[in-house]
Amino acid sequence: MFYIFCPYCDERREEEEFHPSGQAHLVRPTDPESVSDEAWGDYLFFRDNPRGIHHEMWVHRLGCRKFFNITRDTTTYEILETYPMGEQPTITAETARVRREQGVQTADGGWQTVGAQPENSTLNEETSS
């Protein structure tokens, strides 16, 4: 159970009051008519699935009913920060404190990552038993 800080209500509330709304900081192409199908498809359908730091949108649906952003570690479920819409995260995957092998690739369209590499490649290798 999360205990989430709502930046608008300015206090912590039970997770029951919130609902997750997917990846944050998606930018709609300003001129959808002129973007390639691939870039449009990336924007519309493909989302990051990182191992580690993830920025996601949540809505305080039973409280102030506002959307805001959460930086969360997908491996530990730890919520590192919450911040209002329109602001940028202070903690990212590039932040020195959390910098390590994220195992994340970025697709050609530049929007999303298409897969996660294991932190340790030997995990995927078959062992002779």
Partner 1 sequence: MSEAHFEANGGNVAVFDTHPSEVIAAESPLHWSRERGLVDDVAGHDGDVKVVERPFLGHLILRGGAITLDEAVRAELGISLPGKPLGLNVDADGSRSVQWLSPDEWLVIVPGGEEFELENRLREHLGDAHFAIVNVSGGQTLVELSGDKARELLMKSVTYDVHSHGLPVGKAVGTVFAKTSVVLRRPNETGFELVIRRSFADYCVRWLLDAGREYGLRVESPSSR
- Give dist(CA 51, CA 93) in Å, integer: 10
Q: Where are the alpha helices (DSSP H) in 1-129?
A: 37-45
Which of 35, 49, 63, 113 lies at the binding interface for partner 1 (CB under 8 A)? 63
Contact stretch for partner 1 (CB under 8 A) within 13-21, 70-78, 92-100, 101-109: 13-21
Compute how many other C-beta atoms are within 10 angstroms of the C-beta atom of residue 16: 11
Which of 65, 76, 77, 86 lies at the binding interface for partner 1 (CB under 8 A)? 65
Contacts of 33 by beta carbon, 8 Å cutoff, 6+ apart: none
Question: Which neighbouring-strand residues pair with 38?
Answer: none
Question: Which neighbouring-strand residues pair with 89?
Answer: none
Identity of residue 55: H
Say if residue 116 is exposed, middle or buried (CB neighbours under 10 Å; 0-12, 13-18, 19+): middle
**Of the two residues 44 and 85, which places its CB atom closer to partner 1 in the complex?**
85
How many residues bind partner 1, per CB under 8 A?
A: 13
87 is a contact residue toward partner 1 (CB under 8 A): no
103 is a contact residue toward partner 1 (CB under 8 A): no
**Of the two residues 4 and 24, which places its CB atom closer to partner 1 in the complex?**
4
67 is a contact residue toward partner 1 (CB under 8 A): no
- Per CB under 8 A, residues contacting partner 1 are 8-11, 13-14, 16-17, 62-66
